[in-house]
Amino acid sequence: MFMIDLTGRRALVAGVADDAGYGFAIAKALAECGATVVVGTWPPALNIFTNLLERGKLDASRRLASGAMMAFERIYPLDAAYDTMADVPEDVRTNKRYANAGDFTIDGLAARLVADFGDHPVDIVIHSLANGPEVKKALMDTSRAGYLTAVGVSAYSLVSFVQRFGPLLRPHGSFLSLTYMASERVIPGYGGGMSSAKAALESDTRVLAYEAGRRFGARVNCISAGPLASRAASAIGIIERMVEYASANSPLTDPVNPSEVGATAAFLSSAHASGITGSVVYVDKGYHAMGMAVEPAPPSA
């Protein structure tokens, strides 16, 4: 039988703060295949996430096919807007939502992984991170600061991940990020520079695949997932409409299930995908193949 076996491998899944998003689904799929999982969580959401876990509120979601419960080996604070603590503004350092988080930067996470698990602590790195503070604004109305934040957190952070986690990977390691169709098609209402950030993420995936392949022997891929009405995506403001439209106009009309993205991530992180790098893999029910709406808008009068 063709099986994905990740036993003995450790995955870092960055961008998990609840059980509703693609990050959690990927973590669960990796655990189903035998990997141990550590996660990075945005500091302001960390206490809420750990409280939900401790109170058993996520137990149903964490139940694996075997009946066992998915456990997170570690939960680390992570704000991917910052590479080092020297980059963190004073108002963030002193914000009570960051209290007691320690070094929550990407560099800090790398140091914690080494301290906890040794010089080569991970095999798989999942980048499930995005933030566009002005995502509800049209691109033309987006400020420079909002645009640069979207690109910095949603795209450059992958570059920073490869810089810092590449040397920490065990042999045949891999990186995987999540993108969206707005990188190549116009999605009105998905603004604030997020479309630009996703386009940059996909371009960087190709370049990083070359550089990380030559330097670390690591693979770098990206999943272009269909829209999901997760808690994080609610910030977009039109996510329900996006899901409905994609479903109505895709070859397969049922909405994307997070487990489908998780399964693809597990495959791309496994030895079965050893020949795949620099790729954007669509998990969107075929929506990317469509060039015209199924129900075209009526002509204007």
Choosing from 22, 82, 180, 287, the catalytic residue is: 180
**Roughly how many angstroms between the first and final C-alpha of the chain, as a whole number?**
59
Tell me 300's DSSP state: P
How many C-alpha atoms does 155 have within 13 Å on its Cβ side? 23
Coil, strand or helix at 64: coil
Write down the catalytic residue from 98, 190, 210, 282. Answer: 190
- Is-contact 154 130, C-beta < 8 A? yes
- Return the bridge partners of 175, or none: 125, 220
8 dihedral zone (left: phi>0; alpha: psi -120 to 50; beta): left
282 is catalytic: no
Active site residue 245: no
Whether residue 266 contacts residue 223, with contact meaning beta carbons closer than 8 Å, is answered with no
Known catalytic residues? Answer: 180, 190
